[in-house]
Amino acid sequence: MARLHLFDLDGTLLHGSTAPLEISRQLGLEAETFALERAISEGRIGPPEYAAQVHALWADLTVAHVTAAFEGAPWMSGIEEVWREIRRNGDYCAVVSLSPSFFVERLISWGAHAAHGSRFPAVPFAEPLDPTGILSAAAKVQIADLLCEEFGVSRADCVAYGDSGSDKDLFGAVPVSVAVNADRHLRSLATHSYVGRDLNAAYRLVCRTG
């Protein structure tokens, strides 16, 4: 039976950073976004409020800014290598993230079968943000179920990779999980734990389970 590998983006594929922070750095707004990151991590705001505030911060955002953020981000090494191997094995890989879809979807070109993020207006913004398109931790499980249906697998065939509370629900829904540079709360829920900058090493932990 094929397996579906589900990767978080912020703090997982991106080492020590998030897509919003990398985008905001291009606009000179890193400090403002870091404050919002802290607020959401401490539970003082939720994903819709966070998204609304970064959307307002990014009023001058252009496609060139997004491209520079993506290309200059601190990616884990070995992402494309791991995804090529997953494909060669007849398995599937997908990215499911709370970050903006216009950033997340760029990972399709690196070999992901699917990439889902919170729905933001097209860049540059000419439309308001629709809060119903903003993902949550619970939404990650819903998307995983849709991907299972699309690829003809079940939750029992899934492996999840994540680093924080936004991955907690997904880790609880699938049988195998890898905490990647994760906080202690998520590590306690994970099948495996990895600390470092090589995604291939994290993937090898799962390969040992068969």
- Amino acid letter at 19? A
pTM: 0.96
Instruction: Single out the residue of 139, 135, 85, 103 nearest to residue 17, CA to CA.
Output: 103
Give the pLDDT band of residue 187 (cuts 50, 70, 90): very high
Mean pLDDT of 180-193: 94
- The burial class, CB within 10 Å (0-12 / 13-18 / 19+), for 132 is exposed
Q: What is the pLDDT of residues 109-153, one digit of tens each?
A: 999 999 999 999 999 999 999 999 999 999 999 999 999 999 999
- Amino acid letter at 57? L
